Amino acid sequence: LAKTTQPISMDSYEGQEVNITCSHNNIATNDYITWYQQFPSQGPRFIIQGYKTKVTNEVASLFIPADRKSSTLSLPRVSLSDTAVYYCLVGEAGANNLFFGTGTRLTVIP
Amino acid sequence: EAGVAQSPRYKIIEKRQSVAFWCNPISGHATLYWYQQILGQGPKLLIQFQNNGVVDDSQLPKDRFSAERLKGVDSTLKIQPAKLEDSAVYLCASSLDPGQANIQYFGAGTRLSVL
């Protein structure tokens, strides 16, 4: 499993775009990059997954440069309800053992 | 579509007592996972089932933890006897098939406090 490094915490004001970067220098050819979101008192929730370039869904965008050694989760115009812990995971699509790490605690300020 | 169901939501026990948690995965999901999440940390995989067979239990403390998924649907995780360091949230997750194992659906978890 490729090791990931992401900021421990971030603060943002409501309405701003938030970018959370994850480093994964040892990513393997078959690895995907997957992001989860966890609200207090809830289990993690899958947000987005990508392999290269850019992926966008109704929740977020995921930007992956050509060398794939990092990725950036972009949350457009955050609201207070986006306050959560965001986890970056790297592994094969069929990887059994998801390693969550400590994640990035995002606090959205009014 | 119903999500992953877990019960109870909270449990308080004294050390050396036994406790059991129940999980019902999303209908049709063949793979079921149990995670332990200690406060301030990310979830850590304890055991993974594919249908009713164990795929990975390398991080399960087998001297006190056990889990089963007898009919390949719902599952129970048991701790006997509990220790103070077992205080954590126990999360159950499921995924549709092994090829998409990195996309998992989690329940709300059971918060265990061992006194």
**Taking residues B11-25, what's their average pLDDT?**
97
Instruction: Determine whether the interchain pair B103/A102 forms a contact, defined as Cβ–Cβ distance below 8 Å.
Output: no
Domain with A18 in it: 9-109
**CATH number of the domain where residue B20 is located:** 2.60.40.10
Across A41-55, B72-86, B93-107, least confident range: B93-107
Pair type for strands A45-50 and A31-38: antiparallel
How far CA A3 is from CA of A53, B73, B95, in Å, comes to 20, 33, 23
Q: How many domains does chain B have?
A: 1
Q: How close does chain B come to A104, measured CA to CA in Å?
A: 10
In a domain, A92, yes or no: yes
Q: How close does chain B come to A21, measured CA to CA in Å?
A: 17
Chain B residues within an 8 Å CB radius of A42: 106, 108-109
pLDDT at A1: 59
| A residues 16-45 closer than 8 Å to B (CB) | 32, 34, 41-45
pLDDT at B38: 96
How far CA A50 is from CA of A18, A66, A75, B115, in Å, comes to 18, 12, 15, 43
- B53 and chain A: CB distance < 8 Å anywhere? no
- Bond preceding residue A76 cis, omega within 30 of 0: no
Is residue A11's pLDDT more than 70?
yes
Is residue B6's pLDDT more than 90?
yes
Instruction: Determine whether the interchain pair B103/A95 forms a contact, defined as Cβ–Cβ distance below 8 Å.
Output: no
Token pair listed for A67: 């060398």
In a domain, A1, yes or no: no
Which residues fall within 8 angstroms of residue A73, CB to CB, at 6 or more apart?
A19, A20, A21, A22, A35, A47, A48, A60, A61, A62, A86, A88
Tell me which chain A residue has its CA closest to the CA of residue B38: A102
Domain with B71 in it: 5-114
Which residues fall within 8 angstroms of residue A32, CB to CB, at 6 or more apart?
A49, A50, A51, A90, A91, A92, A93, B102
**CATH number of the domain where residue A70 is located:** 2.60.40.10
Digit-coded pLDDT (tens) for A63-99? 999 999 999 999 999 999 999 999 999 988 777 677 8
**Closest partner residue to B42 among A32, A45, A87, by Cβ?**
A87
In a domain, A2, yes or no: no
pLDDT at A49: 94
Q: How many domains does chain A have?
A: 1
How far CA B102 is from CA of A22, A75, A99, B66, B74, in Å, comes to 17, 21, 10, 24, 20
Mean pLDDT, chain A, rounded, equals: 93
Is residue A2's pLDDT more than 70?
no
pLDDT at A45: 96
pLDDT at A98: 79
**Inter-chain contacts counted by CB atoms under 8 A, chains A and B:** 65
- C-alpha–C-alpha distance, residues B11 and B64, integer Å: 17
Across A26-40, A77-91, A94-108, least confident range: A94-108
Closest by CA to B104, choosing from B90, B89, B115, B93, is B93
Digit-coded pLDDT (tens) for B34-53? 999 999 999 999 999 998 89
| A residues 56-85 closer than 8 Å to B (CB) | none
